Amino acid sequence: MYRAIIIGGSAGSFQVVARILSTLDKDFPVPVLLVLHRLKHVRSGFVEALSIKSSIPVKEPVDKDYIRPGFTWLAPSNYHLYVESGNRFALSTEPQVNHSRPSVDLSFFSAAKEYRRNLAGIILSGANKDGAAGLKMVGDMGGTTIVQDPSECQVPVMPLESMKLTKVHYVYNTEQIVSFFKKIRENGQNRQ
Amino acid sequence: MANLTLGVTEVREITAALAESGYPDFTGYSLFSITRRLEIAGGNCGISESGMLISKINSDPLFTDTFVDHLMVETTELFRDPSVWKLLRDNIIPDIFKKNDHPVFWLPGCSTADDLVSLFLLLEDDKLFERSSIIVTSICEKRLKNIRAGRFDNQKFKVSNENYKKVTGKTDLSGYLDKEEGKLYWKKDMLSVADFLPQKSHLEELSAPVNCVIFRDKMIYFNLAFCNRVLDTIYNGLHTGGFLVTGAGETLVHTLYDKSFIKPDENENIFRKIG
């Protein structure tokens, strides 16, 4: 059973994220965490933009919020987002990683340690290597690794860097990623 | 830089060694955060094995000072989250001075001069800093020394200057900085307004109550039990009606002190102590 699904993305990922969120229903059994590169000093607007597309509430966690299903949790701007012991979020102002804060790598690292095989990591379109090392760790700890098909990506660097670093379980186009989520919903959380 | 990887047991052993050597107790830190900080600090100090690190902590105070310095997380910029500082400037600070002849501001757990300089720049109008006491405390004496020396990271200038404009409406921070051998330093008189005190634990109560505690993005590294302990110290250290300023991503909702403070503005993390 998955305890979380983390989606990492950057340039060109918004439409894919919006498509995925539009297909989730309020009873989707797994917390969905979005770690997307975003403008550093714009605190509002992104939640609203995603909420228009999403069937479940999109929320930016504050420090020590419980990680629970029924929400899409969006990493806040200018903070790293960690999964801490006790199934709570933690934030960090540590330096940027791969020029990014939030960094996809750091979210994957922390969640992989906490959830191990019960984590799915997905890397979407993006222009730098952030997320590649983290996705490798997700796989190394027994979790499921997915990248968006680079041929479909607006900017394929993030999936390609991930594929260079680790043998990912699945290379999916957008609709296949949507199906992955649908199967989790139908199978009551069972791993794919 | 060496590569240090730590498990939970090793983290516990290292934090215990630090506490036994008279350094602050890091056992109240969140596990992923402290593990990551210890790995980074150890790596920066050229340590690749936990036993070696513990041995150095137990035997070499100079090394341990440097190691603790590397454990600290830098602040990211001046006036981080400009809207919070704007609220401080426009509403909270005038309110504090209206009710107090000589208010006291406390900045615990400082790792850089960013928040101190931000506060100074807010108090500069009407020379309010002359009517204030500002107390800066840190668990790391090396950091206090650096803050007092006024060193400013050139890379932070652009974003800090943009924030400064947003908060104050003024145009340029350059006038507050001196350049020495290619490095930027805050002008000495700006930092001399503060008293600098070392802390032996993460938060030690001051001898007299204060009017405002600026403690931004520090509790995010603590576990909940430790947050409650720290908030207890802050609560007891504040005058009734005094203010606690936290980071934008921090909340009191999960703590025992949620009902002990009210927010004057729902959108910003400034909390007023209620009696």
This model of the complex carries an ipTM of 0.92
DSSP label at A119? Answer: E
What are the φ/ψ torsions at residue A8 (nearest 5 degrees)? -110, 140
| pLDDT band at residue B29 under the 50/70/90 scheme | very high
pLDDT above 90 covers what percent of chain A? 84
Which residues in chain B are contacts of A109 at CB distance < 8 A?
Answer: 32
d(CA A44, CA B81): 12
Whether residue B204 has pLDDT greater than 90? no
Residues of A labelled catalytic: 10, 37, 130
d(CA B166, CA A84): 34
In this complex, do B220 and A113 lie within 8 Å of one another by their Cβ atoms?
A: no
| pLDDT band at residue B97 under the 50/70/90 scheme | very high
B246 close contact with A: CB closer than 8 A: no
In one-letter notation, the amino acid at residue B19 is: A
Which residues in chain A are contacts of B248 at CB distance < 8 A?
Answer: 43, 76
Predicted pLDDT at A26: 87
Pick from A85, A92, A95: CB nearest B31 = A85
Predicted pLDDT at A192: 47
Q: How far is CA B117 from CA A163, B89, B121, B136, B259, in A?
A: 45, 13, 6, 11, 31
- For chain B, residues classed under CATH 3.40.50.150 are 82-273
Q: Which residue has the higher pLDDT, B15 or B202?
A: B15
**B82-273 in CATH: which number?**
3.40.50.150
Q: What is the mean pLDDT of residues B202-214?
A: 82
Closest among B78, B52, B82 to B67, alpha carbons compared: B52
The domain segmentation of chain A, as residue ranges, is 15-77, 143-186
Predicted pLDDT at A43: 64
Whether residue A44 has pLDDT greater than 80? no
Q: Do the beta carbons of residue A98 and residue A112 sit within 8 Å? A: no
Dihedral-angle region of residue A99 (phi above 0 means left; psi in -120 to 50 means alpha; beta otherwise): left
Gap from B250 CA to chain A (nearest CA, Å): 5
d(CA B197, CA A166): 49
Which chain A residues have any C-beta within 8 angstroms of a chain B C-beta?
Answer: 40-41, 43, 62-65, 76, 78-79, 82-86, 88, 90-95, 101, 109-110, 113-114
Question: How much is the mean pLDDT over chain B?
Answer: 93
Count Cα neighbours of B81 within 13 Å in the Cβ-side half-sphere: 25
